[in-house]
Structure 1
Amino acid sequence: MGIWIINSKLLNEQNEQIAAKIYIEEGKIARIITGGSAEDGGQTEGHEVIDAQGKLAAPGLIDMHVHLREPGFEYKETIATGTRSAARGGFTTIACMPNTRPVIDTPKTVHFVKEKAEQEGIVNVITYASITKNELGRELTDFAALRDAGAFAFTDDGVGVQSAQMMKDAMAKAASLGMPIIAHCEDNTLVEGAPVTDGAFARKHGLKGIPNESEAIHVGRDILLAEATGVHYHVCHVSTEQSIRLIRQAKQLGIKVTAEVCPHHLVLSDEDIPGLDANWKMNPPLRSPRDVQACIEALEDGTIDIIVTDHAPHSEEEKAKGMQAAPFGIVGFETAFPLLYTKFVLTGRWTLSFLLDKMTRKPAEVFGLAQGTLAEGAPADLVLIDLNKEQVVDPAQFLSKGRNTPFTGWSLQGWPAATIVNGKVVWSE
């Protein structure tokens, strides 16, 4: 017995919503019927039927930068709670960062995450492994063993690799294995003890600021190293105009570099921070309006390839410590799509196709994943989105353990209504 999704809409190549009926069998999309024939109620007898009631059917969203916190920080999030939060946000594939405790730096830890995700997770979880042991920047991990255990890429996310020689060695090793290097770009000598960007907010509140060049210095260094080694180099959570300038030039030169941006760096600047509320503290920090505009334009012209959330849950007690002492990070799964749909699609700046492409097809293309498309024969990972639903962001309703968001009280439109992974409904409103 298969599943028929009836009364749904699909986006065609002209960005028009057309009537569609989708048949799912054995975890795959077996058939898509569009146009007038999709109105025909036949063929569904003997199968499970999901009535989409006019909602948009889209490929499941893909998030290549998330923190599930397990092992070691289960009070912040677990693989179980994190994947449920992801499903509610319409994500069907997520890639978890290795800065757990212990760090994901051995085959044993990779196996732990993969097995836990299979047992308790409800979306596809793929895992990074760290570049250096314990993310200390002193000694490379065993890349080949980590790859064989199931890691798909390497990153020391949460900290920048400070040694150029260490990063060059890592890139050479990854390139020899055909694996990508993903970099959190931050020069520690420029950021120590700073909680926000170097700007008007920092000066007003007497806080040390994180300068833009702390990110861009590593981006520039790593681009040169990527050119020298031939590795696929991917830049995490780009936030500055200077970094974008370097990435754009590298792409023009044919260097294999890709990049990502977070929703909060597309819609918020340091001028929006209302006060010393640590729910507005993230790394990279909210930058200037000029940087925000540069990020938007870079996504639009292809300099930045994909959108990620950098979902980073913390406990309320941790975030209550204030702007200086609280940890960096905000949650992102459950607000990402409606936030960007409201701010960019409803205002006419982007088409719906453009937004979905940056959250589905493009991440799959950048990292060689099978997901990311709604097509016959593709994995049956999809989301039904109610584009007309308006709702106020209420962290108390989140499925994540994290409540740390700057978007509390925002009225957003375009909310996921059901999420299907491998042909199974894993979340529904």
Structure 2
Amino acid sequence: MTLYIRNARHLDAAVDLFVDGPRILTMTPAGHETPPEGCEIFDAHGLRLFPSLTDAHVHLREPGFEYKEKISTGLDAAAHGGFGQVMCMANTKPVNDTAAVTRFMLERARESHPDGPRLYPVAAASVGLKGEALTPLAELRAAGCVAVSNDGRPLESAELVRRIMEYAADLGMVFIDHCEDPHLARGWLMHEGDVSGMLGVKGQPAAGEAVQAARDIMLAEYLGLPVHIAHVSSRLTVDLIAWGKARGVRVTAETCPHYLLLDETALEGYNTLAKVSPPLRTADDRAALREAVASGVVDILVTDHAPHAAHEKDETLDLAPCGLTGLDLALSLTWELVREGALAEADVHRLWSRRPAEIFGLPWNGFAPGDPADFFLFDADETWRVTPGSLRSRGKNTPFLGRELHGRVRHHWLGGKALF
């Protein structure tokens, strides 16, 4: 089956894309070639052509918390959000610390989405995420895990972190660390600053993230091994990552669209929809993160997609869980940054497609001959309002409810097959 996409916009150029089965054949300036007879022709009418995105940090909740999200609904939200592959974290019930759980996740994905998006499980770093004993990483790797993380449970023991880094590297896996000192401001509800003082609630200082990021960077330098810092939220951590990179440390990092668009003031009025971990910090931290993402100090964007049931967020700030839903919104939120001039369209390709694939050893589409035919068409001019009904995820928990956004995915192909 051959497919010819014509009149698409790719970065600043009008292009035609020729797809042969699951692979890219050519991408040429629009109108320079005549499509061969017998192929399917699709006129993109000037829609923007993007490679399918990779989300390296999602929570799909299954097994164990299907009332929040199922693998099937999470992958549906991913497909319509432009994601061709997602890496799901291990904080399920049971925890993904055995090959049986990994195989269960992959089977659920194949059953519900045989043509994708593709699911890549992330192995638990410690048994039960308890931070005590290493998991059987070789078994988890063989079952299909592509990385390792203790997810939202910070690891206290530097010795254990060292062994995880070594074990993971031997298996070709990257260690993703949620950096948070578990003793500094234990029981925090938000960032420690002016807003927490005004609200009279306990906050966590930016140092709570930075001290463990510094530990990880120094261990990575000593061992000569990679480490990936999850969902960076503060200027202090950005400075440490830049310092490590300048020294040649194999450190990479991620942040999320909400840290680039919101700050601590989003929690005024005790807004539980803006309660996330790590917390939204100051406007200065937000500005530093924007600079770091644009410059490449922070390598990639992720959603940290964390769906919750409505009744769980409809609680007081101390009882509501951390997290927001992200797969439906991430691309449109990133496009807001492009519209503002904080990012370029080429940055979207780098942050959401090329660099995640490079860091975690996943396939990606650079539109070169032979690349996987994973791509979508994006209407940058379409406006839409974020409502519970506009989100395909089971989780409707986002502080962006009611906001008008620009840009939606109109058509998506994976392996040359149309998803919608």
Q: Same fold (TM over 0.5)?
A: yes
- Asked if 1:364 corresponds to 2:357, the answer is yes
What SS class does the counterpart of residue 419 from structure 2 fall into? strand
Q: Is the 8 A contact 2:18 2:27 kept in 1?
A: yes
- The answer for the alignment partner of 1:46 in structure 2 is 38
1:28, 1:356 → 2: CA distance?
18
- Asked if 1:407 corresponds to 2:400, the answer is yes
What SS class does the counterpart of residue 388 from structure 1 fall into? strand
Pick from 227, 249, 268 the counterpart of residue 255 of structure 1: 249
- The answer for the alignment partner of 2:318 in structure 1 is 324
Question: Once the 2 structures are TM-superposed, how far is the Cα of residue 376 of structure 1 from its aligned partner?
Answer: 1.9
1:300, 1:4 → 2: CA distance?
33
Q: Is the 8 A contact 1:89 1:416 kept in 2?
A: yes
1:207, 1:106 → 2: CA distance?
39
Question: Aligned AA for 1:33?
Answer: T
Question: Aligned AA for 2:158?
Answer: A
Q: Is the 8 A contact 2:188 2:202 kept in 1?
A: yes
Q: Which aligned pairs between 1:348-363 and structure 2 lie closer than 5 A?
A: 348-363=341-356
Question: Once the 2 structures are TM-superposed, how far is the Cα of residue 277 of structure 1 from its aligned partner?
Answer: 2.0
Question: Once the 2 structures are TM-superposed, how far is the Cα of residue 144 of structure 1 from its aligned partner?
Answer: 1.3
Question: Once the 2 structures are TM-superposed, how far is the Cα of residue 228 of structure 1 from its aligned partner?
Answer: 2.1
Pick from 388, 406, 410 the counterpart of residue 395 of structure 1: 388
User: Which structure 1 residue ranges, 5 or more long, are not aligned?
Assistant: none
What SS class does the counterpart of residue 303 from structure 1 fall into? coil
Q: Which aligned pairs between 1:261-410 and structure 2 lie closer than 5 A?
A: 261-342=255-336, 344-410=337-403
- The answer for the alignment partner of 1:35 in structure 2 is 30
1:235, 1:364 → 2: CA distance?
16
1:48, 1:191 → 2: CA distance?
59
Question: Once the 2 structures are TM-superposed, how far is the Cα of residue 112 of structure 1 from its aligned partner?
Answer: 1.0
Question: Once the 2 structures are TM-superposed, how far is the Cα of residue 388 of structure 1 from its aligned partner?
Answer: 1.2
What SS class does the counterpart of residue 36 from structure 1 fall into? coil
Question: Once the 2 structures are TM-superposed, how far is the Cα of residue 164 of structure 1 from its aligned partner?
Answer: 1.2
- Asked if 1:197 corresponds to 2:191, the answer is yes
1:395, 1:200 → 2: CA distance?
31
1:365, 1:219 → 2: CA distance?
21
2:226, 2:117 → 1: CA distance?
26
What SS class does the counterpart of residue 179 from structure 2 fall into? coil
Q: Which aligned pairs between 1:5-24 and structure 2 lie closer than 5 A?
A: 5-11=5-11, 16=12, 18-24=13-19
Q: Is the 8 A contact 1:61 1:372 kept in 2?
A: no
Q: Is the 8 A contact 1:381 1:422 kept in 2?
A: yes
Q: Is the 8 A contact 2:88 2:119 kept in 1?
A: yes
What SS class does the counterpart of residue 363 from structure 1 fall into? helix
Question: Aligned AA for 2:353?
Answer: T
What SS class does the counterpart of residue 87 from structure 1 fall into? helix
Pick from 140, 161, 170 the counterpart of residue 164 of structure 2: 170
**CA RMSD, Structure 1 to Structure 2 (Å):** 1.4
Identity percentage of aligned residues: 39
Q: Is the 8 A contact 2:253 2:299 kept in 1?
A: yes
- After TM superposition, the score normalised by the length of structure 1 is 0.94
Taking structure 1 as reference, are residues 168 and 196 closer, same or farther at Cα in structure 2, changes over 3 Å only? same
User: Which structure 2 residue ranges, 5 or more long, are not aligned?
Assistant: none
- The answer for the alignment partner of 1:233 in structure 2 is 227
Q: Is the 8 A contact 2:294 2:342 kept in 1?
A: no
What SS class does the counterpart of residue 100 from structure 2 fall into? helix
Which stretch of the first structure deviates more once superposed, 172-181 or 92-101? Answer: 172-181
Question: Once the 2 structures are TM-superposed, how far is the Cα of residue 150 of structure 1 from its aligned partner?
Answer: 1.3
Deviations 1:82-135 (A, max 9, x none): 001011111111111111111111111111111211111330111110110010
Which stretch of the first structure deviates more once superposed, 406-415 or 64-73? Answer: 406-415
- After TM superposition, the score normalised by the length of structure 2 is 0.96
Question: Aligned AA for 1:148?
Answer: A
- The answer for the alignment partner of 1:2 in structure 2 is 2
1:297, 1:10 → 2: CA distance?
24
Deviations 1:10-29 (A, max 9, x none): 22xxxx1x222222222111
Question: Aligned AA for 1:242?
Answer: L
Pick from 20, 32, 35 the counterpart of residue 25 of structure 1: 20
Question: Aligned AA for 1:50?
Answer: F
1:57, 1:335 → 2: CA distance?
18
Question: Once the 2 structures are TM-superposed, how far is the Cα of residue 62 of structure 1 from its aligned partner?
Answer: 1.1
1:255, 1:372 → 2: CA distance?
27
Q: Is the 8 A contact 1:394 1:409 kept in 2?
A: yes
Deviations 1:375-419 (A, max 9, x none): 221111111100111112222221100000111121111221122
Q: Is the 8 A contact 1:23 1:31 kept in 2?
A: yes
Q: Is the 8 A contact 2:26 2:367 kept in 1?
A: no
Question: Once the 2 structures are TM-superposed, how far is the Cα of residue 214 of structure 1 from its aligned partner?
Answer: 1.0
What SS class does the counterpart of residue 64 from structure 1 fall into? strand
1:19, 1:293 → 2: CA distance?
33
- Asked if 1:421 corresponds to 2:406, the answer is no
- The answer for the alignment partner of 2:83 in structure 1 is 91
Taking structure 1 as reference, are residues 425 and 274 closer, same or farther at Cα in structure 2, changes over 3 Å only? farther
Pick from 121, 124, 144 the counterpart of residue 127 of structure 1: 121
Question: Aligned AA for 1:406?
Answer: P
1:19, 1:10 → 2: CA distance?
6
